[in-house]
């Protein structure tokens, strides 16, 4: 009875940044639960690699070239995918970039704009345009990907621009949840700790930074993409039917201190 709440049979899910890391792990989790999955990524080679990995695991997936920083492209993708599949029931707004290491007073204009454009504007364009179709049908589930950095200030690396972008994702999620809750569309957010992905590989070359990360985390380890994917699966499923506007921390205890 209760395990059936996690099933996604007959539903279509779009995962942005779906070709690797958290996005790909999330796509696999959704596919295992029965969803038809579309990997949306600005790098088609990465998307094809992710598609092949899913196929090797026994799951079919479509791929889509999508730059989430271009609102016209996002709107076109939302319209075309909804027309093709009848409905996009689930959106995982995962695409994002990480920048750190520059003090606020030295951040270049283009670096600030780039991070905000991908991490915050891109999430909004996707939520707005896929959400519009969900609202017309009166049902749908959206999961955004924030960060524990939206709650705390990381150390030792300065990253005000990244932190601000993720705090924005959190409040955007809550704001849309308040607007859409009575209209059948849920939207929640997962806020991960440091996850072993290409975005965090730079830390391996800086023992002081890496050790600080581990010391600040009660579980004394980084997370794995699958550990975030499992939270995303829960939030996208009917098992989370009473949840909207929630920012779910999966941070190994980092924010306990």
> Which residues are the active-site residues?
162
SS3 category, 33: coil
How far is the CA of 193 from the CAs of 67, 131, 173, in angstroms?
A: 25, 27, 18
Cβ atoms 150, 169 nearer than 8 A: yes
Q: Scanning the structure block, which residue is given the tokens 């150390």?
A: 155
The continuous run of DSSP H or E covering 188 comes out as: strand 185-192
The continuous run of DSSP H or E covering 210 comes out as: helix 207-215
Which conformational region is residue 243 in: left (phi greater than 0), alpha (psi within -120 to 50 degrees), or beta?
Answer: beta
């Amino acid at each position: 009875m209760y395990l059936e709440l996690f099933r996604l049979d007959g539903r279509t899910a779009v995962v942005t940044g779906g070709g690797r890391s958290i996005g790909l792990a999330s796509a696999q989790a959704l596919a295992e639960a029965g969803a038809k999955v579309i990997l949306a990524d600005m790098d088609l080679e990465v998307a094809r690699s992710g598609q092949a990995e899913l196929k090797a695991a026994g799951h079919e997936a479509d791929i889509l070239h999508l730059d989430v920083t271009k609102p016209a492209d996002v709107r076109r993708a939302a319209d075309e995918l909804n027309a093709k599949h009848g409905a996009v029931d689930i959106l995982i707004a995962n695409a994002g970039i990480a920048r750190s290491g520059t003090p606020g007073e030295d951040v270049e204009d283009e670096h600030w704009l780039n991070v905000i454009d991908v991490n915050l504007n891109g999430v909004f364009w996707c939520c707005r345009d896929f959400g519009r179709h969900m609202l017309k049908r009166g049902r749908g589930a959206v999961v955004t990907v924030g960060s524990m950095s939206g709650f705390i200030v990381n150390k030792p690396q300065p990253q005000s621009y990244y932190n601000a972008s993720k705090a924005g994702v959190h409040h955007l999620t809550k704001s849309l949840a308040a607007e859409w809750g009575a209209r059948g569309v849920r939207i929640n957010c997962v806020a991960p700790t440091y996850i072993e992905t290409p975005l965090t590989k730079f830390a391996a070359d800086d023992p002081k930074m890496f050790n600080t990360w581990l010391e600040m985390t009660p579980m004394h380890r980084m997370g794995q993409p699958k550990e975030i994917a499992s939270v995303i699966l829960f939030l996208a499923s009917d098992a989370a039917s009473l949840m909207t506007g929630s920012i779910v921390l999966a941070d190994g205890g980092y924010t306990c201190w």
